[in-house]
């Protein structure tokens, strides 16, 4: 454990080891996080709900127990589209003001079972779509933290909590993580159980995490999924085969982000990676529109209760997207799903030549507060069900963080962790 | 409309046409269903909750409106693992006694939007697993209606409601429908939106319906999914290519059911179908165990809140299955998912030679009340994500209904409807 750091800044991995060794209490850790929140929350607005006493009570209970797992005593933030039975869950919508679910979502109950502490609920955009909520980018309060996992990204970036759950249907983990300068990890589709998640698009919605270190992301998903524990010792011996993938949407990235990604690729080659360009078959260019059609078909149905009973409480932007989604025919939807299936086959074959792909996380640095930014660089990868991780790399013209995205084959989450960690070291 | 039938016995298709033509009111139809329920519910016990006044109020409201869809004014039963905002939703578990969700499930809200009437909640086994609930088989009260869609099957069979939602993860629509002598239809995976369903196993759970006619099953799924309306006029001109599929589990069926299926195949050949035997590749034999492993891995996580907070309120049988599910490693789970994916490819190829497959619905007629019967003949097809429909065919040694199951390629739900309707006519 890096004892030079204030408690609210240390990684979950280090903190859990210190707790297990009797050198740190969960209560002290949680108190430090709460103290940071009380200093900064007025400005950052990352939290939908915090119950300080409840968090401390959980921590004290953990301190009386033998550690249950590698997550024991660690505070976790929960995006407010994921149900909690002891804290309100409002899905980022005024329709659900004060809503209190009966049951914890599976991932929340699993964190508790593993000995974690639910610190509070982080702000989501409206139903995890694009309409901004109150959160601000901790690097510059006049900028968006991105969305839809706005609060999770801002809270982790601002050292309020080491780990927070996010969800991604378009680019709702990768984009805010990049904008806030933290690790954002969207697992392979289905790795974290989704029971108790407010569904937007059931064939795309993926629960993941925002953290400040890659081992922290690995830690929580390993505990929840039962996948084998990743050894990061192997990282120093890796010689990754990296596919530089500009994607069919390359011209949506600004010049600074394009140069940033290309500079990163050069650095990785210089550090010993084999970097070659991956040009995707032409039909991949349709995947972004396919994601929009498929998710629209699904969320316009998933939100039927809300759109029929409370149309006046739905934002204009979501109302427009619902109307578009209802116009997607079943035939169009099935054609989109079939295209995605074919492309999943192509990309699986391509991974015969690459350990991971390197690709943009977002078109540029965080824009202003009136929108959560362009999700374009998440759509295709989410549609392909691949595990993705963004890590901070460089800054934009206004000094805000930029990220690069690392993508692995479906089910290759462990390879994603170690190769991304190698990349992180190589980028310095 | 067959005016010789009492109102509670007519099909949804006929009733909706009569309502649209001004020859029938939704109120009269709903009242007839409620009357049947009040006569028979003490014995059949199909309903978890009915609010008579609320049902009639919805019907009267529908009668004041221009018909919204082909479902206008039709009463629908909702399996009690699907959320309703105006009726309790107890998931078949004492943990959720009196639970009242904030939000309708998507399929429920869609039925309301289409002008349907939510008649009440039908009994589910515990969390849609195998532990029996109170429902009895309307053909013989000492026998199980099957599970987990117990109440939906019994209510439709007993002419209490023309359509009821069921869900299937193993064989929870097909088996009870066969035992109760009605149509059970499990759509292609994902055809009906699952937002607001209590998840058991997210890669398998499928919402479907129990009805007394195949056009009724088509009607509701077409309204909800937006798939094109099926024309049943073509049925008389069909010459189906039917694959007789005994499955690797054939010896689990009793002699009467085996002979019943073979007799059905002969009848269909005599009626003009091309019937040939489909022998599946050897690896299909592992799909039943794969379904058990994959669903166990998933439901043991999905039910984390319940199993950690209320272990004493979970049945012994489910407790045992949860313990087994927690022992399934992620590696085993992924191997099972990979096998399923390979077999999905094989079966898609096989459908080049067949319009539909004919296969057992259940190992025999309904057993006694102490268990809901063996789901074996559903496991493989659910794992393959294929659309399945059971229709009544023959009776067992105790005079209880038997069914035969018709299976189509993924996405071939319309072909399933018309070929199954042809089969129904041919079987007489």
pLDDT tens-place string over residues A204-215: 999 999 999 999
Q: For residue A270, is pLDDT > 60?
A: yes
Q: pLDDT below 50 — which residues of chain B?
A: none
Catalytic residue among A69, A172, A213, A361: A172
Other C-beta atoms within 10 Å of A64: how many?
Answer: 7
pLDDT in tens, A220-235: 999 999 999 999 999 9
The reply to whether ipTM tops 0.95 is: yes
**Contact in structure between A46 and A134 (CB atoms under 8 Å):** no
* A427: three-class secondary structure by DSSP: helix
Is a pLDDT exceeding 60 seen at residue A1? no
Closest in A101, A199, A330 to B226, CB measured:
A330
Is residue A117, in this structure, part of any structural domain at all? yes
* Selection from B247, B258, B289, B246 nearest residue B363 by Cα: B258
**Structure tokens belonging to residue B4:** 């010789």
* Same domain membership, residue B244 and residue B225: no
- For residues A274 and A365, state if they share a domain: yes
**Same-domain pairing of A240 and A219:** no
Q: Which residue in A337, A336, A302 sits closest to A322, CA to CA?
A: A302
Between chain A and chain B, the number of residue pairs with CB atoms below 8 A apart is: 104
3-state secondary structure of B341: helix
The chain B residue lying nearest A303, using CA atoms, is B106
SS3 B211: strand
Residues of chain B with C-beta less than 8 angstroms from the C-beta of A78: none
Q: What are the structure tokens assigned to B349, written together?
A: 């190829």
According to DSSP H, which parts of B114-254 are helical?
150-157, 174-180, 214-225
Q: Which residues pair with A404 in a beta bridge?
A: A360, A391
Count the neighbouring beta carbons within 10 Å of the beta carbon of residue B310: 14
Q: Is residue A263 part of a domain?
A: yes
A203: distance to nearest CA of chain B, Å?
Answer: 8
CB atoms within 10 A of CB B254: 17
pLDDT for position B4: 76
Report the distance separating Cα B349 and Cα B162, nearest Å.
36
- Last residue of one domain, picked from the residues A202, A232, A262: A232
Could you count the other beta carbons within 10 Å of the beta carbon of residue B40? 17
Pick from A232, A251, A267: which residue ends a domain? A232
Is A148 among the residues known to form the active site? yes
pLDDT tens digits along A334-372 = 999 999 999 999 999 999 999 999 999 999 999 999 999
One domain for residues A186 and A265? no
Question: Taking CB atoms and an 8 Å cutoff, what residues of chain B touch A203?
Answer: 190
CB B307 within 8 A of CB B300: yes
* Phi (first) and psi of residue A274, to 5 degrees: -95, 110
Q: Residue length, chain A?
A: 428
Domain assignment present for residue A405? The answer is yes
Q: Is residue B340 part of a domain?
A: no
Residue A2 has pLDDT above 80, yes or no: no
**pLDDT at A324 exceeding the cut of 70:** yes
Helix ranges restricted to H, B24-98: 26-44, 52-63
Q: What is the pLDDT of residue A416?
A: 98
Q: Are residues B223 and B241 in the same domain?
A: no
SS3 label, residue A211: strand
Task: Please report the DSSP string for A334-359 in residue order.
Answer: HHHHHHHHHHHHHHHHHTTS-SEEEE
At CB < 8 Å, which residues of chain A contact B?
A: 85, 96, 99, 101-106, 108-110, 112-113, 190, 193-196, 198-199, 202-203, 224-228, 297-298, 301-306, 308-309, 329-331, 334, 411
> Across-strand partners of A122?
A47, A79
Cα gap B216→B196, rounded to integer Å: 23
B1, part of any domain: no
Q: What percent of chain A has pLDDT over 90?
A: 99
A49 pLDDT higher than 60: yes
For chain B, how big is the Rg over CA atoms in Å?
Answer: 20
Contacts of B203 in chain A (CB under 8 A): 190
Do A208 and A135 share a structural domain? yes
Q: Of B206, B232, B258, which residue sits at a domain end?
A: B232
Indicate whether A165 and A45 sit together in one domain: yes
- State residue A224's pLDDT score: 98
Domain co-membership, B165 together with B124: yes
Q: Nearest-CA neighbor of A118 among A171, A76, A158?
A: A76
Question: Do A308 and B113 lie within an 8 Å CB cutoff?
Answer: yes
Whether residue A27 is found in the same domain as residue A134: yes
Name the residue range of residue A278's domain.
235-285+336-427
Do B225 and B242 reside in the same domain of the chain? no
**Domain presence at residue B112:** yes
pLDDT of residue A143: 98
A172 included as an active-site residue:
yes
Q: Crossing angle for the helix pair B287-302 and B330-350, nearest 10 degrees?
A: 130
Domain count, chain A: 3
In a shared domain, residues A51 and A159: yes
Task: Say what the pLDDT of residue B2 is.
Answer: 59
The answer to whether B329 contacts A226, with C-beta atoms less than 8 Å apart, is yes
Answer yes or no: do B301 and A330 touch at CB < 8 A: no
Q: How far apart are CA B66 and CA B3, in angstroms?
A: 23
Evaluate whether residue B312 is within a structural domain.
no
Q: Identify whether residues B247 and B224 lie together within a single domain.
A: no
Choose, out of B104, B193, B334, the residue to mutate when testing the contact with A (most A CBs < 10 Å): B193
Q: What is the pLDDT of residue B3?
A: 60
A2 within domain boundaries: no
Chain B residues in contact with A296 by the CB 8 A cut-off are none
Q: What is the CATH number of the domain that holds A165?
A: 3.90.1300.10
Read off the pTM: 0.98
Other Cβ atoms less than 10 A from the Cβ of A281: the count is 12
């Amino acid at each position: 454990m890096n004892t030079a750091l204030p408690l609210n800044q240390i990684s979950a991995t280090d903190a859990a080891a210190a707790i297990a060794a009797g050198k740190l209490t969960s209560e002290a850790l949680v108190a430090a996080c709460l103290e940071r929140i009380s200093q900064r929350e007025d400005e950052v607005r990352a939290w939908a709900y915090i119950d300080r006493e409840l968090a401390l009570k959980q921590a004290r209970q953990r301190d009386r127990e033998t550690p249950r797992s590698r997550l024991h005593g660690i505070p976790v933030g929960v995006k407010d589209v994921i149900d909690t039975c002891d804290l309100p869950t409002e899905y980022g919508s005024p329709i659900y003001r004060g809503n209190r679910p009966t049951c914890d979502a599976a991932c929340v109950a699993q964190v508790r079972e593993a000995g974690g502490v639910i610190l509070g609920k982080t702000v989501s955009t409206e139903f995890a779509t694009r309409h901004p909520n109150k959160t601000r980018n901790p690097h510059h309060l006049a900028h968006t933290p991105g969305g839809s996992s706005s609060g999770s990204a801002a809270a982790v970036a601002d050292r309020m909590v080491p780990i927070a759950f996010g969800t991604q249907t378009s680019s709702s983990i990768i984009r805010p993580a990049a904008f806030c300068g933290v690790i954002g990890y969207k697992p392979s589709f289905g790795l974290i159980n989704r029971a108790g998640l407010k569904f937007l698009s059931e064939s795309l919605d993926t629960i993941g995490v925002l953290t400040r270190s890659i081992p922290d992301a690995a830690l929580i998903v390993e505990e929840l999924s039962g996948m084998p524990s990743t050894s990061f010792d192997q990282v120093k011996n890796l010689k990754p085969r990296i596919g530089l993938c500009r994607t069919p949407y390359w011209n949506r990235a600004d010049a600074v982000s394009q140069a940033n990604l290309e500079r990163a690729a050069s650095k990785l080659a210089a550090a010993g990676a084999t970097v070659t360009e991956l040009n995707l078959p032409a039909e991949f260019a349709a995947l972004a529109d396919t994601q929009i059609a498929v998710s629209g078909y699904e969320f316009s149905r998933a939100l039927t209760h809300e759109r029929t009973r409370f149309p006046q409480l739905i934002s204009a932007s979501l109302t427009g997207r619902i109307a578009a989604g209802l116009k997607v025919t079943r035939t169009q939807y099935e054609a989109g799903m079939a295209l995605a299936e074919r492309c999943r086959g192509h990309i699986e074959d391509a991974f015969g030549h690459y350990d991971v792909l390197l690709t943009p996380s977002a078109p540029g640095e965080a824009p202003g507060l009136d929108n959560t930014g362009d999700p374009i660089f998440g759509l295709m990868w989410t549609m392909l069900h691949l595990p993705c991780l963004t890590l901070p790399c460089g800054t934009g013209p206004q000094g805000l963080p930029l990220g690069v995205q690392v993508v692995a084959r479906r089910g290759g989450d462990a390879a994603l962790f170690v190769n991304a960690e190698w990349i992180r070291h190589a980028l310095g």
